[in-house]
Amino acid sequence: MLNAGIRRVVMATRDPNPRVNGGGAEFLQAQGLQVEIGLLAEEARRLNEAWFKWVETGLPFVVAKAAASLDGKTATAGGESQWLTGEQARSYGHQLRHELDAILVGVGTVFADDPQLTVRLPKHTTKNEKRKTKNGFKDPVRIVLDSRLRLPLSARLLHLDSPAPTWIACTPAAPKDKIQEIRDLGVEVLMLHSEPGGLVALKPLLAELGSRRIQSLLVEGGAETLGSFFDQRLVDKFYFFYAPKILGGKTAPGMLAGAGVKHLGNALQAKDLEVRKFGPDLLVTGYL
């Protein structure tokens, strides 16, 4: 660099990885270059937000995603939910699955939708050879919260032809024979503590996922699962899609269940909101 006449280097941020942190900057300073760090630091962190969180905390960056009508309902009072949003919004949802390391749903969604949680998009070439699907995308690791292993052995998630594994997270309340039956299908069962109410403890689950190098997690629902993540303040970023439909209905479910907050002063405050359009639908993203 000195030979090329460069005297001053401006860096947005250091790499948080303790193995390299500052090494490059110190080397350049030792060569006599002036090094300034911090210009557009926040923007640079955002470009690599999952990596920063994982390296600094050992936990995955948690992204919540849900789709609702304009009035916040995820299904009609009669229980119909597919499909609220249009083709373009749903494709973007699949793109998110491709970009993030893992995807998580509650067992209620497995009962309701029997989802595959794979990336289904037109053919594409990815640089990431690991977990690459036949059409060139990367499937995320699939995780189901199922404290008592109620999911049926016929669930599609247990029989997928995908390069990524499915992990079922349960508690000691799960029957031993069901654990074995699921393992016999070649699917891993993660044994975790239970939290009050007997549900899978989320913080230990995130720590376990982090230790397995899951750097980013997409929480797709349903409402109970998303409610638990928001109640425990575990969400870093959200993607809320809104279809231009109004459903109403006292019993029609909303995006989040869980306990919620009793006082407005305890509301989670979203920041850095952005709004985008996907065909007729709106996407609101933000950070917590």
Ligand X SMILES: NC(=O)c1ccc[n+]([C@@H]2O[C@H](COP(=O)([O-])OP(=O)(O)OC[C@H]3O[C@@H](n4cnc5c(N)ncnc54)[C@H](OP(=O)(O)O)[C@@H]3O)[C@@H](O)[C@H]2O)c1
Chain residues in the site for ligand X (CB under 6 A) = 66-67, 74-75, 81, 105-109, 112-113, 145-148, 150, 199-200, 202, 220-225, 228, 257
Distance CA(124)–CA(105), nearest Å, equals 26
Nearer Cβ to ligand X, position 117 or 141?
117
Q: How far is the CB of 196 from ligand X (least distance, A)?
A: 10
Nearer Cβ to ligand X, position 28 or 247?
247
DSSP, residue by residue, 1-19: -TTTT--EEEES-----TT
Task: Tell me whether strands 281-287 and 271-278 are parallel, antiparallel or unpaired.
Answer: antiparallel
Question: How many CA atoms are closer than 13 Å to the CA of 213, on its beta-carbon side?
Answer: 0
Nearer Cβ to ligand X, position 69 or 215?
69
Nearer Cβ to ligand X, position 67 or 206?
67
Nearer Cβ to ligand X, position 164 or 168?
168
Q: How far is the CB of 146 from ligand X (least distance, A)?
A: 5
Distance CA(112)–CA(286), nearest Å, equals 28
What DSSP element (H or E) covers 65?
Answer: strand 61-69
Q: How far is the CB of 157 from ligand X (least distance, A)?
A: 12
Q: How far is the CB of 102 from ligand X (least distance, A)?
A: 15
Q: How far is the CB of 213 from ligand X (least distance, A)?
A: 22
Q: Name the phi and psi angles at 12, rounded to 5.
A: -75, -45
**Residues 74/67, Cβ–Cβ less than 8 Å:** yes
Q: How many CB atoms lie within 10 A of CB 237?
A: 19
Distance CA(67)–CA(184), nearest Å, equals 35
Q: How far is the CB of 3 from ligand X (least distance, A)?
A: 56
Q: How far is the CB of 266 from ligand X (least distance, A)?
A: 19
Distance CA(220)–CA(105), nearest Å, equals 6
Distance CA(49)–CA(44), nearest Å, equals 8
Nearer Cβ to ligand X, position 28 or 192?
192
Which residue is at the shortest CB distance from ligand X? 222
Question: How many CA atoms are closer than 13 Å to the CA of 249, on its beta-carbon side?
Answer: 18
Nearer Cβ to ligand X, position 2 or 268?
268
